A and B are shown apart, each in its own frame.
Chain A
């Protein structure tokens, strides 16, 4: 099986699994005062420190959650701001959280390259200059990998005292995150996208006083998020962060770029979302316009290759892909998009195998659409 779906879930490293299993074998509740409890709370605190150090932020600004979806909700529903602005190129969980917040909100359009329209941003910021504003962006959008131009955006936001939230679920570990330099207010993270087990995520919040409590109860995570923490997942998260290296990801980017060049040679009309812009090093959302995304995904699966037709969270939804719709890509093209997302373990041979299959599927596709009976073979 060739796994080219890292943005949906990255495999756990064996070292991470060992550590997770070790913690699962230990007993104790982080809130208990006896030694078993203390041992668990020291594991929790060490993991928090390791991740905070990686991000170069203070330990107290990092809260653990069950995943990025919860993180998005905790921030966007709980933030002390009157008006919420969110980029259209955001994960469904962030868009839904904004809608659930019962506050004034606006979904801001993006250009055909997927970048936030800065003129529109400026207009909204000026319009609401009397209110407190939050801007939410996906930094490393999950379907396209597009990275927003933060320097320009932060320039506008700092001048107008806008609180900025980043959903960095896909960006963590893959591109540098200069949270303090940028001066962002809050960030959502996912564990399983960086090789931690599923079921753990985090929130970075620069000023805790701005965040309302999300789930009440035993008062864990500074009272902002109650519930016995998923300790094995959290320790696994910290362990996964340790194995991240920028040189590995530079290699990933090389492979991705080589793949895109090869495919462009094969089909010069191939559309690759955000190709000319900054993107995550591992993501390629490609569309030919000739075959539906679902058919491609199913056929590739038949060849032993895992890719996605966009975000897994929207897998049940109909085409076209959310990202391509908001980037105003023509419907026919948008209906044919598939997301290839690779990781440090992906080999060139695997990519080569995928490219051959991708080409074959498209080359044999044309006659099939003319000869309907063959469809039953799909």
Chain B
């Protein structure tokens, strides 16, 4: 089974590694194979220089100082470290605020703290997927340690009011962590202006390699964490283990490219999204775009198709590589908790598609994908008794279904 005939539309699950990134990494696989912590010899030295240049590139992308960046194995580790590490260090404050639509690794970290006696508030989101700032304000208590709100959601691409949340947290003396795995390189981020104390970055969501991520830890004001992984005193004691030099270099280059090209890339992808949606909405009725229309990254489209059956839809578009939920959850058949938090009907959630566009998506691919989806939906609806009833003006909600199948 080859994947070459597939059209890749799953840029929120992972992005291809940019060839320019790969090229930067190559010498560190081939020639400079020292351990960057072997400070006394030449190979170790060159490896360390590569790592430090990369650290500066990552920092520049979010307006931080290089000293404020530590490398991790990915956003899951960054999020675990930021949330559990801060909670354990400042253990006198026992309350954390987050949202119902965070990535699973943020929710899992919060649940673990809950089991250990911390109190967590999971803020709901409205139909748009954005949090209500008044609700956030009301949720803050004297013992609130931290607010953790993702900058961009992985399923619906919705952008949260990060700057406003940061200002609110700073005023109340509460730490602000944001999972920016989907945001870095997609929206402008400035940790100083936005008063962000902790920010998580993923390599493979921004055209870098898998197996690398970073955590920004503010030095002014100084934020402290209890390390999850200790031992060699690498990464200022926040995270031990030999740094993977080629991967660090790859993440740095990916950040630099994303920053240079963000504006032009966003406008190109925005064009693709418009082209796609125009095709869909001109051929199909009863389609809803999940999540806010204006506050979202250009590369994300999340649509629910009424009166079709989810599995059938996926079967009908087998040559499109896209997800019907977050990649991390799509192997389980439960409907997406993000869509549920938005109030999307339980019948509609399974018929939702996340179409992720990105750096290497072309006009032709977008046209082809939109046509395939329209064709599949129309065909399924033709066979659907529900669609027929709806067309006849019957409100399906009022129908009393029989017991037999």
Contact = CB atoms under 8 A, between A and B. Distances in A.
A and B interact: yes
Contacts of B6: 34-36
A94 B231 contact: yes
Nearest to B233: A316
Contact of B327 (A37, A197, A227): A37
A226 B105 contact: yes
A97 B227 CA distance: 10
Interface string B299-338: 0000000000000000000101111000111110000000
Most central of B75, B212, B233 by chain A CB within 10 Å:
B233
Contacts of A61: none
A154 interface: no
A111 to B, nearest CB: 24
B105 A306 contact: no
Given A27-B15, A217-B108, A232-B209, A198 B246 contact: yes
A219 B22 contact: no
Interface in A1-55: 1, 3, 5, 8-12, 14, 17, 20-21, 24-29, 31-39
B143 interface: no
A330 interface: no
B241 A309 contact: no
A32 B76 contact: no
Contact of B241 (A93, A214, A215, A305): A93
Contacts of B73: 65-67, 70, 199, 227, 230
A216 interface: yes
B211 A232 contact: yes
B17 A24 contact: yes
A97 B231 contact: yes
B37 to A, nearest CB: 4
Contact of B41 (A24, A34, A297): A297
Contact of B3 (A26, A218, A229): A26
A307 B76 CA distance: 35
A317 B41 CA distance: 16
Interface band, chain B? 35 or more
Interface core residue of A95, A300, A313 (most chain B CB under 10 Å): A313
B195 interface: no
Interface string B264-275: 000000000000
A223 B228 CA distance: 18
B29 A12 contact: yes
A294 interface: yes
B34 A215 contact: no
A230 B240 CA distance: 18
Contacts of B329: 218
Contacts of A232: 209-211
B294 interface: no
A202 interface: no
A66 B240 CA distance: 11
Most buried by A among B75, B103, B230, B330: B230
A228 B242 contact: no
Interface in B192-222: 202, 204, 209-212
A229 B111 contact: no
B243 A198 contact: yes
A76 B42 CA distance: 34
B14 A313 contact: no
A256 interface: no
- 6 closest residue pairs by CB, A with B: A230-B211, A93-B231, A216-B108, A217-B105, A199-B244, A313-B232
11 contacts: A31-B327, A34-B6, A35-B1, A35-B318, A69-B240, A93-B231, A218-B329, A226-B105, A227-B75, A233-B210, A308-B41
Interface of A: 1, 3, 5, 8-12, 14, 17, 20-21, 24-29, 31-39, 65-70, 72-73, 91-97, 99-100, 190, 192, 197-200, 214-220, 226-233, 294, 297-298, 300-301, 304-309, 311-317
Interface of B: 1, 3, 6, 8, 10, 13-17, 19, 22, 25-26, 29-30, 33-35, 37-44, 72-77, 79-80, 103-105, 108-109, 111-112, 202, 204, 209-212, 227-234, 240-247, 318, 320-323, 327-331
Given A9-B242, A25-B17, 16 more contacts: A8-B37, A27-B16, A29-B13, A31-B13, A31-B330, A32-B13, A33-B323, A37-B321, A66-B72, A66-B241, A69-B240, A198-B35, A230-B210, A231-B211, A308-B41, A317-B233
